[in-house]
């Protein structure tokens, strides 16, 4: 049995305090709380969400979303965006923490003719700033000629975004437009985006991406779907991935490198110049900063990524990247590609750039494209292969791809490589009723050297998590101390030896009860010989349960084995109901029979057998 209660009493008390706060709205600012890390402001409705943007004094505070909310009442520019950036002299970022608590915000709308830094959060810029555990449903963001436009964040300088997503809706603007974040990163700092995705329509002019428009930060374990369109630097995941340096001599160099790792895109992408299935333009930057003895290069990095959508454009059009002067490693594309000039199955163009001191060129290593799926036999870098070879693990392990830690996994002969984090543990189906005050859940193992983390909650949204397993090696966990008559929900996730985590599995639930509860809930009267037998069976079960309560285990065991089990076991013995069975379908017997056996074993345990 794995440990099921939170190991620290303090942790459990803290969780309960938060739960209670989310259940009872205090008569205080917002929905309660003080905005401190251990006592965040609580947000319950659209008006409280809108109030955050109205008071910049609170933009360094902590917030906890306690309910799903609908912002459709705020139209045009009436919603108060949280944080703003006009230019380096006129800005006020959000520097606090907003925990979505696995809730959603739907119908966020902001429509203007040219506002910059547009999103639910306009500007975030602090190493400790964080947005997490939040979903946006059907946002409608139209910023006209605006710069830095996203559904969640317009301009992310420093800070982190984790476990956030957008489903549906659209985002439009001019420059640096992304489905989730418009502009990510800053010179001398880095915004980090992890475990996020966007599935929406994104459009604009320059630096347009399904997830992020312009990236100077770090993006990992993310993906994008939907339709992405623009003019220049248009990508399924990121419009432009950049490495850059500012040299404010004699001050230290400010250097930033855009890094994209363990990501993919299935988006349909269209544009004119620098158009890619994953990234429109992956930039490198080489300088000779006097008084250093020789030039050096910063390269935008793309590693362990793939694209599967469709890409159409005119100039510098690639299945993975349109134009590359950065570094691409361990990537592949199966996207269909169409264009006029500099068109490639993996990369459209990878030109040599020359300065007075010499020339440099982007690097493409250990990367592939499917010549059949893409419709392209050429690429300015990478290796083109037929579909059959693209679905063989040896193709990739021969050049050092990691299928052991693992970073990658493959259903060989049937599919292309997938990122390991895309795998999900599959939780086995739970019975409608689990007997007693404990329940053992189990799940299918997944590839690699992994651990699992299971949770038990009192609600389907997992906002009230009462037990967790901690990280364990087993593929099952027994939760004890449950209450009769209560329903519980379960889910599990995994992580590998590199610390990479999967998403949560499917959710299963079960009501804790007695054998009588199981028969009452699970047994359809039509599966019995006649309609009166359900009550008769319940009466027999109640009689056995009362004997157990009184300590008459011998009598209870006899009734269970002779009066109850005999009415449910024909299918197990003969493959079909027998003449003694009251339950006359094998499907119904398969649900009730194991519970009768479990009750019998429980009684035998009480008898010391």
DSSP string, 546-596: HHHHTT-HHHHHHIIIIIIGGGT-HHHHHSS--TT-SB--HHHHHHHHHHH
- Cα dihedral 363, 369, 375, 378 in deg (nearest 10): 30
Q: Do 544 and 560 form a contact (C-beta atoms < 8 A)?
A: yes
Cα 232 to Cα 219: distance, rounded to the nearest angstrom: 21
Report the C-alpha dihedral over residues 148, 154, 158, 164, rounded to 10 degrees: -130
Distance separating alpha carbons of residues 377 and 374, to the nearest angstrom: 8
**Number of separate helices (H) and strands (E) present in the chain:** 10, 56
Tokens encoding 526: 């039509």
* The CA-based dihedral angle spanning residues 346, 412, 492, 513, taken in that order and rounded to the nearest 10 degrees: 140
Question: How far, in Å, CA of 35 to CA of 224, rounded?
Answer: 33
Sorted by where each begins, the domain ranges of the chain are 258-286+300-422, 423-513, 515-606
Phi then psi for 422, rounded to 5 degrees? Answer: -70, -25
Task: Measure the N-to-C terminal CA separation of the chain; round to a whole number of Å.
Answer: 21
pLDDT at site 289? 67
The CATH code of domain 423-513 reads 2.60.40.10
pLDDT score recorded for residue 569: 84
Kindly report the pTM of this predicted structure: 0.86
Phi, psi of 543 (to 5 degrees): -65, -40
Query: What pLDDT is attached to residue 1?
Result: 41
Is 308:334 a contact under the CB 8 Å cutoff? yes
Block means of pLDDT (10 residues each) for the chain, length 609 residues? 36 37 57 96 98 97 97 97 90 96 96 93 96 97 94 96 97 97 83 97 98 97 98 98 70 76 98 98 82 80 98 98 97 98 98 79 97 98 98 98 93 96 94 90 91 95 89 96 93 92 93 85 82 83 88 90 84 83 85 85 85
The DSSP element (H or E) to which 218 belongs, if any, is: strand 218-220
Write out the two tokens for 477. Answer: 């966990």
Quote helix, strand, coil % in the chain, to nearest 5: 20, 40, 40
Distances (CA, A) of 427 to 3, 59, 398, 408, 505: 19, 40, 34, 22, 7
Instruction: Give the position of tokens 């454009």.
Output: 313
């Amino acid at each position: 049995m794995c440990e099921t209660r939170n190991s620290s009493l303090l942790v459990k008390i803290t969780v309960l305090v938060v739960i209670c706060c989310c259940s009872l709205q205090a008569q205080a600012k917002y929905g309660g709380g003080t905005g401190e890390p251990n006592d965040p402001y609580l947000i319950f409705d659209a008006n409280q969400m809108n109030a955050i943007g109205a008071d910049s004094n609170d933009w360094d505070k902590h917030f906890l979303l306690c309910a799903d909310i609908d912002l459709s009442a705020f139209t045009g520019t009436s919603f108060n965006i949280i944080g703003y950036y006009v230019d380096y002299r006129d800005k006020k970022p959000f520097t606090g923490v907003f925990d979505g608590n696995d809730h959603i915000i739907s119908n966020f709308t902001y429509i203007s003719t040219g506002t910059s830094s547009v999103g639910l959060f306009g500007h975030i810029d602090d190493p400790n700033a964080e947005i997490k555990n939040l979903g946006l449903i059907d946002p409608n963001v139209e910023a006209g000629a605006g710069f830095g436009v996203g559904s969640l964040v317009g301009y992310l300088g420093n800070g982190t975004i984790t476990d956030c997503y957008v489903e549906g809706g659209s985002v439009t603007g001019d420059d640096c437009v992304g489905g989730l974040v418009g502009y990510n990163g800053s010179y001398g700092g880095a915004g980090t985006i992890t475990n996020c995705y966007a599935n929406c329509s994104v459009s604009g002019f320059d630096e347009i991406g399904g997830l992020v428009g312009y990236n100077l930060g770090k993006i990992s374990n993310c993906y994008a779907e939907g339709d992405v369109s623009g003019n220049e630097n248009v990508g399924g995941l990121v419009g432009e991935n950049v490495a850059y340096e500012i040299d404010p001599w004699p001050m230290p160099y400010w250097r930033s490198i855009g890094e994209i790792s363990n990501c993919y895109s299935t988006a349909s992408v269209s544009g004119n110049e620098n158009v890619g299935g994953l990234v429109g333009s992956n930039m490198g930057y080489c300088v000779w900063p006097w008084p250093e003895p020789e030039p050096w290069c910063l390269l935008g990095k793309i590693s362990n990524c793939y694209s599967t959508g469709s890409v159409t454009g005119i100039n510098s059009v690639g299945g993975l990247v349109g134009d590359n002067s950065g570094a691409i490693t361990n990537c592949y594309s199966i996207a269909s590609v169409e264009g006029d000039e500099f068109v490639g199955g993996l990369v459209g163009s990878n030109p040599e750039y020359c300065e007075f001191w010499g020339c440099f060129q982007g690097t493409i290593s250990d990367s592939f494209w499917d010549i059949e799926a893409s419709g392209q036999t050429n690429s300015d870098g990478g290796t083109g292969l037929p579909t059959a070879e693209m679905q063989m693990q040896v193709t990739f392990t021969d050049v050092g791809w990691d299928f052991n830690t693992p970073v990658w996994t493959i259903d060989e002969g049937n599919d292309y490589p997938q990122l390991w984090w895309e795998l999900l543990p599959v939780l086995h189906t739970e019975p409608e009723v689990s007997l007693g005050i404990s329940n053992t859940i189990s799940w299918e193992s997944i590839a690699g050297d992994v651990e699992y983390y299971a949770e038990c909650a009192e609600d389907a949204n997992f906002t009230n998590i009462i037990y967790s397993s901690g990280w364990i090696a087993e593929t099952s966990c027994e939760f004890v101390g449950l209450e009769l008559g209560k329903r519980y929900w379960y889910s599990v996730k995994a992580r590998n030896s590199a610390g990479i985590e999967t998403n949560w599995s499917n959710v299963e639930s079960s009501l804790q009860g007695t054998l009588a509860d199981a028969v009452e809930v699970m047994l359809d009267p039509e599966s019995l010989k006649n309609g009166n037998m359900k009550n008769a069976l319940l009466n027999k079960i109640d009689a056995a349960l009362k004997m157990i309560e009184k300590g008459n285990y011998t009598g209870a065991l006899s009734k269970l084995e002779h009066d109850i089990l005999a009415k449910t076991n024909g299918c197990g013995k003969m493959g079909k109901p027998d003449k003694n069975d009251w339950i006359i379908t094998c499907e119904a017997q398969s649900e009730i029979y194991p519970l009768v056996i479990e009750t019998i074993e429980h009684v035998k345990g009480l008898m010391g057998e």
